[in-house]
Amino acid sequence: MKMNVKNFFMPYLIITNHVRNAWIKYKYRGFKQSLQKNKYVQLRIEGTNKCNSNCVFCAYQYDKSEKKTLDFELYKSAIDQFVSEGGEMVSFIPVVGEALLDKLLFERMKYLKKYPEIVQIELFTNGILLTKRVFEDLVDAGMTDLFISTSGFEKDQYEKMFRNSFYDKLISNLAEIALSDRFLKCSINIIIYTDSLFPTFNRQYKRFKKLGYHFLINNFVDNWNDKIKDYNLPGFMYVAPKLKNHSSPCLQIYRGITLRADGSLTQCGCRDVDHDREMTFGNIKDTPLHELINNGTWQKLYDGFCNKNVPDICKKCTIPIFWNSNERDY
Ligand code: SF4
Ligand code: SF4
């Protein structure tokens, strides 16, 4: 019965999703073409692969890899080489993990100040450890863009979805950050993963909207290579419909590269939780970053997408539809 009600409302969410995506597509028209000019414009850093949450829609719960922190000397050498290869943006975004659990995060950000070439520094976090003081220190260290992920603003929804007990802490962090004199010095987006049909009707949502936060709302999530199943998701939250095919290369192929906590370099900083062989350039412990990024891995992936011969990890992945770069199958 529950599944029937769930399926009944899916078309409504698909339509709202389409409308939202059409707007995003219009706003960022020409974005992909601009990325193609410099395929290594962004370096993503997985400072640690540890997390303090256990989200129902994330593959972290299945990640058995050893928990690590990226060595600081390796990090510095990667940044030096990335900048000399023309890089301009750094993003602190683990494949899975919580960026604020990285005890070297502030040092890493401060190191970037050495390079005026770096024009954007992003951070993605679940916000649990993001007190006003931490937020201000991050802005002072150079953070330009902040993304905070949460559920819809209801405690029981959060606890079902994020499966931790820090909801009250998160709400108090968000309220205090909005009062900071650094609030307008950084672009802040809250990414809502929700199982609610009308998340914007919520009182707390309206309060934070008034305080100046921007929101991105998702009822759909990726299947993480079939690790996440629809029946595991609560309420009106769904695994995104399958992709028709990869009609063009995934944005991950242009968006940049990810340096993982163990020193390995992957083209897909979004879904490569299992260290996929075809996505991995190698490890900067053994080979300098500038040699890895020129070792033919990127070209092989790009050609594969153009010839409809994508790596296995990409076959079931629905991430490109979130970026409007490929079509859904429904
Ligand atoms: S979605 Fe983020 S916060 Fe949640 S378990 Fe995964 S890595 Fe941790
Ligand atoms: S299709 Fe999915 S797995 Fe493949 S590169 Fe894109 S985001 Fe990564």
- List the chain domain ranges: 40-316
Taking the CA of 61 as reference, the closest ligand is 1
Average pLDDT, stretch 133-149? 98
| Closest atom of ligand 2 to CA, residue 313 | 3
Average pLDDT, stretch 237-249? 83
Q: Can you tell me the distance from the alpha carbon of 234 to that of 157, in angstroms, rounded to the nearest whole number?
A: 9
In the block, residue with structure tokens 């909207």: 209
Confidence check: pLDDT of 143 > 70: yes
Tell me which residues have their CB closer than 6 angstroms to ligand 1: 51, 53-55, 58, 60, 96-98, 126
Alpha carbon of 319 to ligand 2 centroid (Å): 6
Mutate which of 50, 51, 63, 221 for ligand 1 pocket (most atoms within 8 A of beta carbon): 51
Average pLDDT, the chain: 90
Residue 31 is predicted with a pLDDT of 55
- Judged by average pLDDT, the poorest of 35-49, 80-94, 192-206 is 35-49
Average pLDDT, stretch 97-108? 98
Ligand 2 atom 4, closest CA: 314
Confidence check: pLDDT of 160 > 90: yes
Confidence check: pLDDT of 165 > 60: yes
Residues 32 and 254: beta-carbon distance below 8 Å: yes
Residues 308 and 246: beta-carbon distance below 8 Å: yes
Residue 34 is predicted with a pLDDT of 54
Alpha carbon of 157 to ligand 2 centroid (Å): 28
Alpha carbon of 53 to ligand 1 centroid (Å): 6
Range among 125-134, 220-229, 288-297 rated most confident: 125-134
Q: Can you tell me the distance from the alpha carbon of 191 to that of 175, in angstroms, rounded to the nearest whole number?
A: 16
Tokens of 207: 């309060």
Q: What is the pLDDT of residues 251-293, one digit of tens each?
A: 888 878 999 999 999 999 999 999 999 999 999 999 999 999 9
Taking the CA of 100 as reference, the closest ligand is 1
The SS3 assignment for 45 reads: strand
Tell me which residues have their CB closer than 6 angstroms to ligand 2: 250, 252, 268, 270-271, 313-314, 317, 319-320
The CATH label, of 3.40.630.30, 3.40.640.10, 3.20.20.70, 1.20.1250.20, for the domain at 40-316 is 3.20.20.70
Side chain identity at residue 317, one-letter code: C
Question: Would you call 165 exposed, middle or buried from its count of C-beta atoms within 10 A (0-12, 13-18, 19+)?
Answer: exposed
Mutate which of 44, 55, 151, 165 for ligand 1 pocket (most atoms within 8 A of beta carbon): 55
Q: Can you tell me the distance from the alpha carbon of 309 to that of 46, in angstroms, rounded to the nearest whole number?
A: 28
Full-model pTM: 0.89
